[in-house]
């Protein structure tokens, strides 16, 4: 019986299913899905911006090579980071799937 009493303080912090999602919505915090969606949109925007800079450079609209190269590097770095996040998510999913039930 003494062991059950030791768990009392721990069990008071356990919330019912769906409670954490409700807390996120009440606190105004973004969900993981929304953050992921925003990040993908930002990566896409940077990719489009770099393509536009390259087109302008090739057509002669702008002569500034540096701006185009910086835009390409920003797009490349953001894409690489997104791929690393994707890899970590897949890795975490695979780890969860290996857990015994």
| Residue 65 banded pLDDT, cuts 50, 70, 90 | very high
The answer to whether 52 touches 67, Cβ cutoff 8 Å, is no
| Extents of the domains making up the chain | 24-98
pLDDT at site 41 = 96
Q: Which conformational region is residue 51 in: left (phi greater than 0), alpha (psi within -120 to 50 degrees), or beta?
A: alpha
pLDDT in tens, 10-64: 555 556 666 666 665 666 678 888 999 999 999 999 999 999 999 999 999 988 8
| Distance in Å from the first CA to the final CA of the chain | 27
* DSSP letter string, 67-82: HHHHHHHHHHHHHHHH
Alpha carbon distance 82, 51 (integer Å): 18
> The whole model's pTM is what?
0.65
């Amino acid at each position: 019986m003494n062991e059950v009493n030791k768990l009392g303080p721990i069990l008071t912090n356990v919330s019912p299913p769906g409670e954490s999602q409700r807390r996120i919505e009440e606190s105004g915090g973004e969900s993981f899905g929304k953050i992921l969606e925003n990040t993908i949109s930002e990566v896409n925007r940077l990719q489009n911006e770099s393509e536009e800079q390259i087109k302008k450079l090739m057509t002669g609209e702008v002569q500034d090579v540096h701006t185009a190269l910086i835009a390409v590097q920003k797009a490349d770095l953001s894409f690489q980071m997104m791929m690393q996040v994707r890899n970590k998510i897949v890795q975490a999913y695979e780890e969860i799937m290996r857990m015994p039930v």
